[in-house]
Structure 1
Amino acid sequence: MRKILGWTLTGQLPAQLRQRRGAIQARWEFMEASLLLRLGLRRALRHQLGLPPAVTTPDPATISLPTSETPLLSVIIPTYGQVPHTLRCLATLASHPPSRPYEVLVVDDASGDPHVPELRQVRGIRLTERSKNLGFLRSCNAAAAEARGDYIFLLNNDTEVMPGALDALLDTFASHRQAGLVGARLLYPDGWLQEAGGIIWNDGSAWNYGNRDDPRKPQYSYLREADYISGAAIMIPTSLWRELGGFDEHYLPAYCEDSDLAFRLRAAGRTVLYQPEATIIHDEGVSHGTDTSKGIKAYQLSNSEKLRQRWAETFARDHLPVGQRVMRARDRAPRRRITLVIDNNVPERDRDAGSRTMVAFMEALIASGRVVKFWPLNGLALPGYTRELQQKGIEVLYGPWSGRFPRWIAANGAEIDEVLVSRPHVAAGTLALLRQHTEAAIVFYGHDLHHARFQRELEATGNASLQAEATRLLAEERRAWLDADLSLYPSEEEARAVRELEPGARVRAIVPYALPELDRPDPVPEGRQDLLFVAGFGHSPNEDAALWLARDILPAILAAQPATRLTLAGSNPTPAVQALASRNIEVTGFVSDEELARRYASARVIVCPLRYGAGVKMKVVEALHQGVPLVTTTVGAQGLDGLDQTVDVVDRADDFAAAVLRLLTDDREWKLRSEAEARFIRGRFSAQAMETELSCAFEQAAQFSRRKATQAQSRTPIPRA
């Protein structure tokens, strides 16, 4: 029998799921797991993972690898006979090669297998048939000495290379400069997980993490550090390999040399990373069998003891007891802080300002050394956006595998050190559970004063029905301010408003955006003539601004400058906004970051004619960052103290049009405004400033949380003996 998804597979479902089978109300997070179990599963999972069918042994003459004489990557495949396995491995490599130049070295270690010469029919490989057996470890070292690429990829011959695997490993080195070794996600031929990186415990024993579990689970799907990666599929810079002397001959002839290499790399200041997007099928046990009492496999036990003795101090200092606190063990976080971030959904960084802030917050938390877990309250993974977070090293806890939040926080709350909760309705749905299941410090980020936004919309539109919603939101925000250990807002103006509304609230301002330094020449007005308004138009303040701009401001501008064009660029344009499209108005819908950069580079004036809303506006900050002169309103300038000394801040339609016309026609004024904006924005919205302020905020929240816990204990009656 075998454990799968925590249940023993006996040919039937556990009683609890059998009772629910066929019930429409069955909890959806179990549906796929129970289906797979009913199917018995073997080939079903591999198919559902979208992996190619297993290859049959091909004719060697049909395999052709487009290798290079000047490779970036050297693929090294050590063999000891087993030609059919080697041919299948080479066939998958030929089908799914890297996009960069590569070479393939196949090295047979004097196996005496009469079929080895057949490999010479494979086009594109460098085949070495050793006359003397060196053993696995020395054979790998000798082959690596002949590698011509900048990177070495050691690949067992009993493997299948899946699409994109090698590029994913190479890309990881490009995005993580400290990476010393990157390893693949290993699957069994039936699709079940073999290893998502390895864990070594404080007694030196090891786990192939996730063995025989579903590889799609969130805990196996994000880039992270690992104690070691099994050597069946590992990549390392060639220069680093040679600097360390390759595998250490202390572990001759084989076993534990890969674990030792990982520890030596860390001792040299490099990281060992597990890359889930590099999938390799590994038919474990083909090379040396599974019986540790005989043959080369017998060295697994003796070499494990060698590893334990060599790294005993490190194991005792940096590793956890066997099987305990697995979340921390898999993240190499026995002493790092684990921060849980909760928002309504996976942030769509290029679609709205709130999403961009949440991504920047998580990047800042990672930069500060924290481990970040992200829970989308709607339970959904968004294609592309979820992967972006996972590749940053963030575990995204989506269904069906993560279950529901109450169950997850009950099981894992003890390991959470800090929580960042985004938006009032998310706080309303989670704060009570957080207080019940974790002692973590809780920080609430409001984005803006939601009730104030509705109040200003009521004032601007006269829609009295908004009053009830504004009242409800204020009550929701008050609860969050009082229940959280600390509340954050994008400006001191909003923080002051919170203190006035709720004097007992603990609140501070935080840098809401982290903008990179732009490596470009200073912008010039020549060649620019268009107006640009960037916004997510599904948000009612932005829709109202676009309508007011087109109806009451643009006509006066066109009367003086008929050739002027206005671009409304951004996601989710409503029917009313789409209807504005005309000869002088372009409505783009969603645009990529690259396209938006092009629009900024050609715009003469950025306009932000908001009549209501709340908080610091990303569209305003981004315009200042681009150095393109801006015209906005009092609402648009909210939270940016002193902005009215740098840009035109006007609230009447005719004043707005006049300010735009000055910038359309006066090059000297345009340049002065552009330079003033650069001075205003410099240093205010940097990644370093955000990281520092977030760390200070969490420390402040933790201090209050500890003080509150101490006070609660002092009020607890001492039980009688």
Structure 2
Amino acid sequence: MLRKALFIGYLWPEPKTTAAGHRMLQLLECFMANNYKLVFASTAQKTSYTANLYELGIATAQIQLNHNSFNDFIIDLKPDVVVFDRFMIEEQFGWRVAEFAPNAIRILNTEDLHSLRSARQSSIKTNKAFTNKEWLGADITKREIASIYRSDLTLLISKIETELLKSVFHISEDLLVTLPFLLDTVSEKQQSKWPRFEERQNFVFIGNGRHAPNVDAIKYLKSDIWPLIHKELPNTKLNIYGAYLPQHVNELHKPSEGFFIHGWIEELDTVLQETRVNLAPLRFGAGIKGKIIDGLKNGTPTVTTGIGAEGITDFTTSYDNPIAFAKNAVALYNFEKQWIAIQQQNSEILRNNFSKEKLAPYLFKIIDNIKRKLDEHRYKNFIGSVLQHQTMASTKFMSKWIEEKNKKK
């Protein structure tokens, strides 16, 4: 039986510029493969990087914030499932879905825990060690946790984040599911076509300029890490690719120092397969990092930090000290046996942790179980029902106030 799912996006998917866009496309394709008719809606404007969803057989809709036209839209659609892309979207549209499509399963897709990333960023800015106390005390944390409780199910890309929600906030595992990137298996035949060690050269960093951890990492590379690597390997280059890089990052372009800012690149897989070592010195962030997964998919060993490796089981090449980071990057670049061993280890990580064939059935089994016992599922989520209650629904009444205000203009 063909079911209907509505995805409400914070942005239109850009799989070639962001890991979040790639992740969203994976989810859409999984729902289609499991007999769902899809509609993707967003308040955002499309860009030249936006995926052509129409070609994939996905209907699209432009929707408005704080406008009752969405009420009629969702009543007519009658979705079985609604997926909110990040908690900000659930805040805006969750109450309308609950009111006008009460039987639809409400799923929050976090991409990563925004509040965790924000708290870690603050600790870097203030040069203080990250603690749960600062995370718990932030307004964005309260908003994100409230959104998780209001949803029937929340998708977490990293097992670390799932465990944090259970241990720090005592959120029931019935409301959470760990769903890493959903990837096709890289076959031995595909791996045999990867360029060999001696056919690759230079270093690479990949990162969208609208993502603060990436901008910080590029600056960190320029100031603390690359000078150490370039001193040992003066004939190598560091090539930096990413859409939406800000001007102050473009100004770091220094060919005389082997530091190259290129901007966006369409054929990312080709670039990675031509490169010997992938660098990802992320000092804050959350979730699983798409740039590292891209390295795994193309047989390009990555040197990263503890934050970068977070959520990736058995990932070994992570170093938080810039001297250790640079030293191990140089060693990986120079020693073929070590490079091949890491490449093989990374292929195992990819196979064991990110197989779409294993993960997709797991997700839809959970969704189907919730659908069969939706009332019971919501009854157990008492805090969620409290947050849905009208006396607590501040986002609903703020939206209605803005809606009425806009009518008078």
Place the TM-score, normalised by the shorter chain, in its bin: 0.7 to 0.9
Once the two structures are TM-superposed, the CA of residue 470 in structure 1 deviates from its matched residue by 7.4
Once the two structures are TM-superposed, the CA of residue 399 in structure 1 deviates from its matched residue by 5.7
* Residues 1:503 and 1:469: Cα distance change in structure 2 (over 3 Å): closer
Higher-RCO chain (CA-CA 8 Å, sequence separation at least 6): 2
Aligned length: 367
| Residue of 23, 27, 32 corresponding to 1:366 | 32
Partner of 1:503: 170
Which of structures 1 and 2 has the bigger CA Rg?
Answer: 1
| Residue of 333, 353, 360 corresponding to 1:691 | 360
| Residue of 401, 415, 425 corresponding to 2:88 | 425
Unaligned runs of 5+ in 1: 1-334, 713-721
Once the two structures are TM-superposed, the CA of residue 580 in structure 1 deviates from its matched residue by 1.3
| TM-score normalised by the chain length of structure 2 | 0.83
* Residues 1:614 and 1:459: Cα distance change in structure 2 (over 3 Å): same
Residue 555 (structure 1) aligned with residue 217 (structure 2): no
Once the two structures are TM-superposed, the CA of residue 515 in structure 1 deviates from its matched residue by 4.1
Provide the rounded CA distance (Å) in 2 between the counterparts of 1:551 and 1:624. 27
| Counterpart residue identity of residue 81, structure 2 | E
Q: SS of the counterpart of 2:154? A: strand
Q: SS of the counterpart of 1:619? A: helix
| Residue of 87, 91, 98 corresponding to 1:435 | 98
- Contact between 1:513 and 1:618, CA under 8 Å: does it hold in 2? no
Provide the rounded CA distance (Å) in 2 between the counterparts of 1:663 and 1:385. 36
- Contact between 2:152 and 2:378, CA under 8 Å: does it hold in 1? no
* Residues 1:679 and 1:709: Cα distance change in structure 2 (over 3 Å): closer
- Contact between 2:194 and 2:273, CA under 8 Å: does it hold in 1? no
Once the two structures are TM-superposed, the CA of residue 574 in structure 1 deviates from its matched residue by 1.7
* Residues 1:381 and 1:457: Cα distance change in structure 2 (over 3 Å): closer
Once the two structures are TM-superposed, the CA of residue 637 in structure 1 deviates from its matched residue by 0.5
| Counterpart residue identity of residue 298, structure 2 | Q
Provide the rounded CA distance (Å) in 2 between the counterparts of 1:567 and 1:709. 50
- Contact between 1:457 and 1:612, CA under 8 Å: does it hold in 2? yes
Once the two structures are TM-superposed, the CA of residue 406 in structure 1 deviates from its matched residue by 3.0
Partner of 2:151: 484
Once the two structures are TM-superposed, the CA of residue 639 in structure 1 deviates from its matched residue by 0.7
- Contact between 1:454 and 1:470, CA under 8 Å: does it hold in 2? no
Q: Deviations over 1:430-449 (max 9, x none)?
A: 11111101111111111111
Residue 588 (structure 1) aligned with residue 237 (structure 2): no
Q: SS of the counterpart of 1:503? A: coil
| TM-score normalised by the chain length of structure 1 | 0.48
- Contact between 2:85 and 2:109, CA under 8 Å: does it hold in 1? yes
* Residues 1:540 and 1:437: Cα distance change in structure 2 (over 3 Å): same
- Contact between 2:278 and 2:295, CA under 8 Å: does it hold in 1? yes
| Residue of 262, 271, 276 corresponding to 1:599 | 271
Provide the rounded CA distance (Å) in 2 between the counterparts of 1:469 and 1:708. 26
| Counterpart residue identity of residue 142, structure 2 | A
Provide the rounded CA distance (Å) in 2 between the counterparts of 1:510 and 1:369. 19
Once the two structures are TM-superposed, the CA of residue 463 in structure 1 deviates from its matched residue by 7.6
| Counterpart residue identity of residue 161, structure 2 | E
What does residue range 233-632 of structure 1 map to in structure 2 within 5 Å?
335-378=1-44, 380-382=45-47, 385=50, 388-398=52-62, 404-412=69-77, 415-438=78-101, 439-462=103-126, 471-505=138-172, 506-515=175-184, 517=186, 519-520=190-191, 521-583=193-255, 584-592=258-266, 594=267, 596-632=268-304
- Contact between 2:206 and 2:240, CA under 8 Å: does it hold in 1? yes
| Counterpart residue identity of residue 352, structure 1 | T
- Contact between 1:513 and 1:685, CA under 8 Å: does it hold in 2? yes
Provide the rounded CA distance (Å) in 2 between the counterparts of 1:586 and 1:470. 40
Provide the rounded CA distance (Å) in 2 between the counterparts of 1:624 and 1:597. 11
* Residues 1:661 and 1:708: Cα distance change in structure 2 (over 3 Å): closer
* Residues 1:456 and 1:553: Cα distance change in structure 2 (over 3 Å): same
- Aligned-pair identity in percent equals 23
Q: SS of the counterpart of 2:307? A: coil
Provide the rounded CA distance (Å) in 1 between the counterparts of 2:147 and 2:140. 11
- Contact between 2:209 and 2:215, CA under 8 Å: does it hold in 1? yes
Provide the rounded CA distance (Å) in 2 between the counterparts of 1:562 and 1:666. 17
| Counterpart residue identity of residue 233, structure 2 | Q
* Residues 1:566 and 1:431: Cα distance change in structure 2 (over 3 Å): same
Provide the rounded CA distance (Å) in 1 between the counterparts of 2:206 and 2:126. 26
Once the two structures are TM-superposed, the CA of residue 599 in structure 1 deviates from its matched residue by 1.2
Provide the rounded CA distance (Å) in 2 between the counterparts of 1:711 and 1:625. 41
Q: Deviations over 1:571-597 (max 9, x none)?
A: 1112222121011111111111x2x12
Partner of 1:673: 342
Residue 634 (structure 1) aligned with residue 306 (structure 2): yes
- Contact between 1:486 and 1:697, CA under 8 Å: does it hold in 2? no
- Contact between 2:17 and 2:49, CA under 8 Å: does it hold in 1? no
| Counterpart residue identity of residue 526, structure 1 | E
Q: Deviations over 1:30-49 (max 9, x none)?
A: xxxxxxxxxxxxxxxxxxxx
Once the two structures are TM-superposed, the CA of residue 558 in structure 1 deviates from its matched residue by 1.3
Q: SS of the counterpart of 1:477? A: helix
Provide the rounded CA distance (Å) in 2 between the counterparts of 1:529 and 1:564. 8
- Contact between 2:3 and 2:37, CA under 8 Å: does it hold in 1? yes
